[in-house]
């Protein structure tokens, strides 16, 4: 077998050398027929299962004996995958943390290989039932002795190769695993491809992927956590922390039509492999992930943890059984569909009315759309942007019930919903197509990156896009050809950055989408008038700017800034837009909805007038005080209590709206200036009786009332999404005695909620004093900012000791208190140290590295992804010492295996510091001599050629 494999490999190499195989032609296509089966898929099942599956085995034969003796059968795994609606299985047994076992017979020595062909049996079982099998392969030898026993046999492999090969190094492991790829390709015709956990330099240097393309042209290649051009699929591993927690696409970065996976654990806790525990599965979280991924054309690669005998722990098996009955009634809405609101058309996904959130899928062949309400609204209706589709019918997919709906002002309202599914209420929506958009619009911009011109904005193709070339502000001009009516813009930004600001594998991420904008219009291209200013949410899918009724030839959108900050340099100012369309009218159907202002009783000087962007195309204006009012006499709710009353209002100037319920004294709320012909929501908390209520709306200023609606209050656990940035970041190590710490904080509102009575200030420990008053604002809306700077001073005559200074932002949401906070930890540095600073301190410069949590590290954080390029470094400026002389530099770090820093002091020659250790969560300390100048110095940690250890802290003595 070995000679046969060697001859086969030799033939491949000879073909490459003679030009019979052409690696240059093997670059990955974004779309290719070999991908079609995966494009039609919804999900896959990821199985981490190997020698270290509990109970751990350190002997290959004993593990195989217990696998077979326990009754392992491939059909069980295939059947469990089918219950989940999965069309493929990824088997991760040759895994760095599971013992490097190969579940197939092999004559290539180096790590565990079974005598029983477990892989072959699984491939055959999958083929019989229409489930593909993909093999996981690791690039990583660093965990070779994690259990205290060497799992890689370098001597045996060296004898096999006829040369010395150290499998515990990346180069040696690369040679070994490279040969395994060819063995698998030779022996398993029906395998569907490889799922590769990052790249090995040996593979890339020897054109492994190009050879796979030539030898197995129908096989897929998937890579973990990076978009490698030759791969078919980008897999995004275990994203968490989004809001809602199930909205996995918010943390991904891969624009369609690139194939993308969401790779996540179904068990809520525990390892990726069976660790002996029967861990819970959060049904709501995982069904939500399943649907939102389908709504973004992302495949759900769900990881389960089979035991040694192959069976799933009881709670995972129960979840699979639940999915077996939950998926089939809505199968047409999640299989063979694409995400809607993106390049395949469709209405707008995301946040809808009254706290609702969901996704939309579309069948590209029939045009039918499916509205998935995952988080139900606090009302009996769902209202979402229709994106120009004229709706003809709506049906509850699970029950078959025909639903009442109305459509106007760019919104579809599905009414009278009573049968909510606990996890996903699905409405099948038939349309008569998309209407109301101009064709032939020409675009230009004040800045473009080479190869990505503004003409791509209106070319109708989502595979071409405009790149602003990192310019901000930047203006986009749209030429309608002649003076025409314009009502709104529909904008599809490039989905190449996450909408959820997070740290992923140590790298900070943030949205590169439009935040603040201005829109102007012109007839001749020389004289411009202001149309609208505002902010767009950092959200996926089509976004809209309603502009009332404009008669213009030219529209100019000026993007003032984007959501991402400089802490995420990969995304900072990286604005990219796929398409911008200009709409001239909204589709209408079945009336405007319920509780329209024009249908209510009027008193005083109020009057109805046209408003194309309003529900029902009309609003009521003329408010001038309490006598000028609109009264709704049949506002009905099922239960008494405090409810949320949402008013859709236009406002040509800063105004005040007042609401009186059942004759009670009115409650007044400020309304910011916007347009007189484009409504925006304002909500107030009001007490309502069960049954009918009378609601009177009055106001002052240039107000217009479009409609009202009633919903429940947000739960007490809901806090609108904000970004609170507090500096300094990281533990502040200060000298003995009284000390002062300068603190700055910045609160940004990221959600489309209005918050009131906003205050931002540090909360001091006992005995400390504060210079500076709290920063306050009466109210904030989307993208609003509040900033403050203070000086906190410790008590005189004592050391700081160990304290934490919270910085709290407090505000009200519909009259209810909410709070978010950050912390500045302060510690007295040890007596034998003249300087201490955390690696994650905001005073440092991080380049392309990033922060990550580390529970055992000082300050519970560290900096990772150091090394591999000149930019992947950490620089400590202002390292201050009292005199010029030699010091001891203590470096606190974590590392798994041998790696090096190159340490540069004040721009001098780099000094290599070789380090070694076991486990990336175990801090070690190294000591080197350095010579420093009196005052401020600069120390840089990097390794331009290879990965370096993670850095926790430095100190000087």
> HEC states along 164-225?
CCCCCCHHHHHHHHHHHHHHHHHHCCCCCEEEEECCCHHHHHCCHHHHHHHHCCCCEEEEEC
In a domain, 803, yes or no: yes
Residue 72 near residue 116, CB atoms below 8 Å: no
Q: Which domain holds residue 612?
A: 597-711
Q: In this predicted structure, what is the pLDDT of residue 494?
A: 97
Residue 557 is predicted with a pLDDT of 98
If asked whether residues 103 and 84 sit together in one domain, one would say: yes
Instruction: Transcribe 358-376 into DSSP letters.
Output: EEEEE-TTT--EEEEEEE-
DSSP count for the chain of H helices, then E strands: 11, 55
Burial label for 270, CB within 10 Å (0-12, 13-18, 19+), is middle
pTM to 2 decimal places: 0.93
Separation of alpha carbons 108 and 96, rounded Å: 18
Q: For residues 398 and 461, state if they share a domain.
A: no
* Cα torsion 34, 39, 41, 46: sign: positive
Cα–Cα distance for residue pair 647/630, rounded to 1 Å: 12
In a domain, 6, yes or no: no
Pairing mode, strands 543-559 and 601-603 = unpaired
Residue 410's Cβ-count burial label (10 Å; 0-12, 13-18, 19+) is: buried
Query: Measured between alpha carbons, how far is 827 from 905 in angstroms, rounded to an integer?
Result: 26
What band does 592 get if pLDDT is binned at 50, 70 and 90? low
For residue 28, name the pLDDT band (cuts at 50, 70, 90). Answer: low
Which residue is listed with tokens 């059947």? 79
Q: Is residue 446 part of a domain?
A: yes
- Distance, in Å, from the CA atom of 590 to the CA atom of 616, rounded to the nearest integer, reads 10
| For helices 314-326 and 283-294, angle between their N-to-C axes, nearest 10 degrees | 50
Query: Is there a contact between 479 and 554 (Cβ–Cβ < 8 Å)?
Result: yes
718: which 2 tokens?
């809901």
Which region among 114-128, 139-153, 321-335 has the lowest average model confidence (pLDDT)?
139-153
Sheet with 703-711, edge to edge strand ranges = 607-610, 618-621, 703-711, 641-651, 680-688
697-742 pLDDT, tens digit each? 999 999 999 999 999 999 999 999 999 999 999 999 999 999 999 9
Average pLDDT over residues 420-427: 98
Q: How many CB atoms lie within 10 A of CB 629?
A: 23
- 473 cis-preceded (ω within 30 degrees of 0): yes
Strand bridging mode 816-828 / 802-813: antiparallel
Cα distances (Å, whole numbers) of residue 912 to 658, 785, 940: 70, 45, 12
Q: What is the mean pLDDT of the chain?
A: 94
Q: If you search the block for the tokens 């699905």, which residue do you land on?
A: 426
Cβ-proximal residues to 365 (8 Å cutoff; 6+ apart), any chain: none
Give the β-pairing of 233-237 and 220-224: parallel
pLDDT (tens digit, 9 = 90+) per residue, 241-262?
Answer: 999 999 999 999 999 999 999 9
Return the H-helix or E-strand segment holding 341: none
Which is nearest to 563 in space by CA: 615, 641, 501, 650? 501
Tell whether the model's pLDDT for residue 182 goes beyond 50. Answer: yes
Q: Tell me, what's the pLDDT at 228? A: 84
- Contact (CB, 8 A) for 60 and 114: yes
Question: Per-residue pLDDT averaged across 739-764, rounded?
Answer: 96
Residue 326 sits in the same domain as residue 189 = yes
Share of the chain above pLDDT 90, in %: 89
d(CA 286, CA 267): 9
Phi, psi of 355 (to 5 degrees): 80, 0
- β-strand pairing of 816-828 with 732-734: parallel
The side-by-side arrangement of strands in the sheet containing 802-813 is: 732-734, 816-828, 802-813, 755-762, 775-780
Contact criterion met (CB below 8 Å) for 731 and 858? yes
Separation CA 291–CA 360 (nearest Å): 9
Confidence of residue 20 (pLDDT cuts 50, 70, 90): very low
3-state secondary structure of 691: strand
Q: What is the dihedral of CA 465, 466, 467, 468, to 10 degrees?
A: -160
Cα–Cα distance for residue pair 695/47, rounded to 1 Å: 57
Block residue for tokens 């991420």? 509
Which one of 583, 609, 634 terminates a domain? 583
Strand pairing report for 382-385 and 369-375: unpaired
Tokens coding 437: 């958009």
Cα–Cα dist 487/582, whole Å: 8
**Where does the pLDDT of residue 4 fall: very low under 50, low under 70, confident under 90, or very high at 90 and above?**
low
Do 806 and 901 have their domain in common?
Answer: no
> Does 15 fall in a domain?
no
Greatest mean pLDDT range, 4-13, 154-163, 892-901: 154-163
H/E stretch holding 289: helix 283-294
- 798: CATH: 2.60.40.10
Count of all residues that appear for the chain in the document? 957
Beta carbons of 158 and 179 less than 8 angstroms apart: no
Residues 304 and 186 both lie in one domain = yes
Strands 442-445 and 474-493: antiparallel
Question: How far, in Å, CA of 220 to CA of 171, rounded?
Answer: 25
Whether 1 is covered by a domain: the verdict is: no
DSSP 128: H
Question: In this predicted model, what pLDDT tens digit does every residue of 95-119 receive, in sequence order?
Answer: 999 999 999 999 999 999 999 999 9
Residue 377 burial by CB count (10 A; 0-12/13-18/19+): exposed, middle or buried?
buried
Do the beta carbons of residue 409 and residue 463 sit within 8 Å? no
Domain total in the chain:
6
pLDDT for residue 505: 65
- The mean per-residue pLDDT over the stretch 476-501 comes to 96
Q: Does the pLDDT of residue 10 top 90, yes or no?
A: no
* Same domain, yes or no: 778 and 840: no
* Domain-embedded: residue 247: yes
Look at 222-226, 410-414, 817-821, 937-941 and tell me which has the smallest mean pLDDT.
222-226
Same structural domain for residues 121 and 254? yes
Write the CATH number for 467: 2.60.120.260
Of 224, 328, 316, the C-alpha closest to 266 is 316
Q: Are residues 823 and 857 in the same domain?
A: no
Cis status of the peptide bond prior to 536, with omega within 30 of 0: no
Q: How far is the C-alpha of 259 from the C-alpha of 247, rounded, in Å? A: 18
Which of 309, 301, 419, 382 has its CA nearest to residue 49?
Answer: 309
Mean pLDDT to the nearest integer, 149-172: 96
Collapsed DSSP state (helix, strand, coil) of residue 302 = strand
Collapsing DSSP states into helix, strand and coil, what is residue 15? helix
Residue 588 falls within a domain, yes or no?
no
8 A C-beta contact, residue 279 and residue 315:
yes
Pair 185, 320 in one domain: yes
Task: Say if CB 301 and CB 222 are below 8 A apart.
Answer: no
Question: DSSP per residue over 748-803, as a string?
Answer: EE-SS--EEEEEEEE-PPTT-EEESPPEEEEEE-TT-EEEEEEEEEPPTTS---EE
In a domain, 801, yes or no: yes
Q: Using the 3D structure, point to which of 828, 855, 872 is the last residue of a domain.
A: 828
881-898 pLDDT per residue, tens: 999 999 999 999 999 888
Structure tokens given for 398: 């699970």
User: CA 956 to CA 18: how far, in whole Å?
Assistant: 59
Whether residue 622 sits in one domain with residue 542: no
SS3 384: strand
| pLDDT higher at 920 or 730 | 730
pLDDT tens digit sequence for 439-486: 999 999 999 999 999 999 999 999 999 999 999 999 999 999 999 999
Does 26 have pLDDT greater than 50? Answer: no
Q: How confident is the model at residue 25 (pLDDT cuts 50, 70, 90)?
A: very low
Task: Say if CB 316 and CB 305 are below 8 A apart.
Answer: yes
β-pair type (802-813, 861-864):
unpaired
| Mean pLDDT value across residues 179-193 | 98
Write the burial class of residue 357 (CB in 10 Å: 0-12 exposed, 13-18 middle, 19+ buried): buried
Of the residues 370, 402, 434, the one at which a domain ends:
434
Do residue 568 and residue 537 come from a single domain?
yes
- 397, 424: one domain: yes
């Amino acid at each position: 077998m070995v000679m046969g494999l060697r001859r086969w490999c030799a033939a491949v190499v000879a073909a490459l050398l003679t030009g019979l195989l052409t690696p240059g032609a093997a670059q990955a296509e974004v779309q290719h027929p070999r991908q079609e089966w995966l494009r039609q898929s919804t999900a896959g099942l990821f199985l981490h299962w190997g020698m270290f599956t509990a109970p751990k085995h350190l002997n290959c034969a004993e593990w195989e004996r217990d696998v077979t003796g326990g009754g392992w059968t491939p059909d069980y795994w295939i059947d469990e995958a089918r219950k989940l609606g999965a069309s493929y299985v990824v088997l991760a047994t040759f895994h760095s943390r599971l013992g490097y076992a190969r579940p197939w017979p092999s004559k290539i020595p180096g790590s565990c290989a079974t005598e029983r062909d477990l892989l072959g049996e699984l491939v055959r079982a999958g083929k019989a039932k229409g489930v593909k099998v993909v093999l996981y392969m690791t690039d990583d030898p660093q965990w070779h002795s994690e259990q205290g026993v060497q799992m890689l046999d370098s001597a045996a492999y060296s004898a096999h190769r006829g040369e010395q090969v150290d499998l515990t190094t990346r180069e040696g492991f690369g040679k070994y695993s490279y040969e395994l790829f060819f063995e698998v390709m030779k022996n398993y015709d029906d395998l569907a491809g490889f799922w590769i956990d990052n790249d090995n330099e040996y593979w890339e240097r020897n054109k492994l992927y190009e050879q796979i393309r030539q030898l197995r042209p129908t096989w897929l290649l998937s890579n973990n956590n990076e978009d490698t051009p030759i791969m078919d699929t980008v897999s995004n591993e275990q994203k968490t922390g989004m809001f809602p927690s199930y909205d996995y696409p918010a943390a991904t970065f891969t624009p369609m039509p690139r194939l993308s996976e969401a790779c996540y654990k179904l068990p809520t806790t525990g390892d990726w492999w069976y660790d002996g525990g029967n861990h819970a599965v959060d049904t709501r979280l995982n069904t939500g992930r399943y649907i939102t991924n389908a709504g973004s054309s992302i495949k759900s690669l769900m990881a389960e943890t089979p035991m040694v005998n192959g069976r799933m722990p009881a709670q995972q098996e129960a979840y699979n059984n639940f999915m077996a009955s939950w998926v089939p009634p809505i199968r047409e809405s999640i299989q063979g569909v694409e995400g809607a609101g993106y390049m395949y058309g469709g209405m707008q996904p995301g946040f809808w009315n009254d706290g609702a959130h969901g996704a939309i899928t579309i069948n590209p062949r029939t045009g039918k759309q499916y509205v998935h309400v995952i988080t139900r609204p606090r009302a009996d209706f769902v209202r979402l942007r229709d994106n120009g589709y004229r709706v003809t019918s709506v049906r509850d997919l699970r029950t078959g019930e025909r639903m009442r709906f109305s459509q106007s002002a760019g919104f579809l309202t599905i009414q009278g919903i009573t049968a909510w599914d606990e996890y996903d209420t699905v409405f099948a929506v038939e349309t008569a197509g998309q209407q109301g958009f101009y064709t032939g619009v020409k675009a230009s911009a004040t800045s473009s990156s080479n190869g990505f011109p503004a003409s791509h904005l209106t070319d109708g193709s989502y595979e071409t896009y405009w790149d602003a070339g990192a310019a901000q502000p930047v203006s986009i001009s749209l030429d309608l050809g002649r003076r025409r009516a314009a009502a709104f813009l529909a904008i599809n930004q490039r989905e190449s950055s996450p909408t959820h600001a997070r740290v992923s594998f140590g790298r900070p991420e943030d949205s590169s989408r439009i935040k603040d904008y201005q829109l102007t219009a012109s007839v001749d291209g020389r004289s411009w008038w202001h149309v609208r200013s505002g902010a767009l949410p950092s959200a996926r899918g089509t976004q809209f700017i309603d502009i009332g009724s404009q008669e213009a030839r030219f529209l100019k959108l000026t993007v003032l800034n984007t959501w991402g900050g400089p802490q995420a340099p990969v995304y900072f100012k990286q604005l990219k837009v796929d398409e911008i369309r200009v709409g001239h009218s909204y589709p209408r159907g079945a009336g405007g909805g319920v509780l329209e202002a024009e249908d209510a009783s009027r008193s005083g000087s109020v009057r109805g007038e046209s408003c194309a962007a309003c529900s029902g195309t009309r609003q009521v204006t003329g408010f001038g005080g309490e006598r000028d009012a609109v009264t709704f006499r049949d506002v009905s709710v099922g239960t008494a209590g405090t409810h949320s009353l949402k008013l859709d209002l236009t406002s040509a100037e800063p105004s005040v709206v007042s609401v009186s319920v059942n004759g009670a004294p009115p409650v007044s709320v400020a309304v910011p200036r916007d347009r007189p012909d484009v409504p925006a929501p304002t909500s107030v908390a009001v007490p309502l009786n069960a049954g009918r209520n009378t609601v009177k709306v009055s106001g002052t200023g240039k107000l217009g009332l479009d409609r009202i609606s009633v919903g429940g209050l947000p739960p007490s656990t809901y806090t609108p999404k904000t970004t609170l940035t507090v500096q300094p970041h990281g533990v502040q190590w200060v000298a003995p005695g009284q000390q002062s710490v300068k603190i700055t904080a910045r609160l940004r509102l990221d959600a489309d909620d209005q918050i009131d009575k906003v205050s931002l200030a540090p909360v001091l420990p006992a005995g400390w004093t504060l210079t500076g008053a709290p920063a306050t604002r009466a109210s904030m809306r989307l993208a609003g900012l509040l900033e403050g700077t203070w000086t906190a001073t410790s008590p005189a005559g004592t050391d700081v000791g160990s304290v934490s200074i919270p910085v709290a932002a407090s505000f009200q949401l519909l009259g209810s208190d909410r709070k978010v906070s950050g912390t500045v930890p302060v510690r007295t540095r040890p007596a034998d140290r003249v300087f201490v600073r955390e690696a994650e301190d905001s005073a440092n410069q991080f380049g392309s590295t990033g922060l990550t949590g580390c529970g055992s590290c000082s300050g519970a954080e560290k900096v990772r992804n150091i090394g591999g390029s000149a930019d992947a470094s950490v620089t400590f400026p202002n390292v201050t010492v009292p005199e010029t002389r030699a010091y001891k530099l203590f470096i606190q770090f974590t590392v798994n295996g041998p790696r090096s820093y190159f340490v540069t002091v004040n721009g001098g020659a780099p000094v290599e510091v070789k380090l070694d250790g076991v486990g990336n969560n175990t801090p070690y300390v190294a000591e080197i001599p350095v010579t420093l100048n009196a005052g401020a110095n600069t120390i840089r940690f990097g390794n331009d050629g290879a990965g370096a250890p993670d850095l926790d802290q430095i100190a000087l003595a």
